[in-house]
Amino acid sequence: MKTIMNGLLKGRAIRWSALAVAVVAVAGLSLAWDGHHYRAGGAWIGATQGGTWTALQSPLDAEGETAAIRTVNTSWGSSFAELLAAFGADTISDTVGEMRMVSRDTAQWTLMGYAQKAGNPLETKAIGVYSGTWKFTSQHTAVLNYSLNVYLPTADGYPDLNNPVIIPGVLPITGLTDTAKRVPILK
């Protein structure tokens, strides 16, 4: 009788231990998941310091972990106009780049665009390289934190990433923040 009781108690202890481990694991997974895993992609509009932009993110994989980005600056403020003028430029090309999800709600990204002087043909005066994070704050909103480095163009039109233009107190520009909203599907 004693052996049967010991066997039953040991069996119950093992079952309760296994159940406790399962409950802790499920609770841990649900806390770690905390809802939604955001995906790169979609059409966005954004606001920057004194300006606006549109962006199209085209996923590069089925999971939405990476995307190609094309951004069009639709307007910019006086400080950006002054920066363009400092390089002899008066406009900026569309910017292109890529993003990669690095957590459930944040992506890292890099974009590149040309500061140009109007004319036929356009004359490239400098190349802006923007890099930072895209943090989803909801399914339809995001906050971007980033910096801007400027490079002089090489003969092949690419930036020499080893030689950024450094102007103390002006370049590089860090601590930039934009907000973005997904373009909705209207009913």
Question: What mean pLDDT value characterizes the chain?
Answer: 86
Whether 38 has a pLDDT exceeding 70, the answer reads yes
β-partners of residue 13 are none
- For residue 127, the model assigns a pLDDT of 96
- For residue 87, the model assigns a pLDDT of 95
157 pLDDT tier (thresholds 50, 70, 90): confident
155 pLDDT tier (thresholds 50, 70, 90): confident
Lowest mean pLDDT among 21-30, 42-51, 178-187: 21-30
Average of pLDDT values for 31-41?
69
Q: Give the end-to-end CA distance of the chain in Å, rounded to a whole number.
A: 72
- For residue 49, the model assigns a pLDDT of 84
Please answer whether residues 53 and 69 qualify as being in contact, where contact means their C-beta atoms are separated by less than 8 angstroms.
Answer: no
For 72-111, letters b (16+ CB in 10 Å) and e give ebeebeeebeebbebbebeebbebebbbebeeebebebbb
Whether 146 has a pLDDT exceeding 70, the answer reads yes
**Is pLDDT larger for residue 2 or for residue 71?**
71
Whether 27 has a pLDDT exceeding 90, the answer reads no
Whether 7 has a pLDDT exceeding 50, the answer reads yes
**Is pLDDT larger for residue 4 or for residue 177?**
177
Whether 17 has a pLDDT exceeding 60, the answer reads no
Whether 130 has a pLDDT exceeding 50, the answer reads yes
Average of pLDDT values for 52-73?
96
Tokens of 9: 């108690």
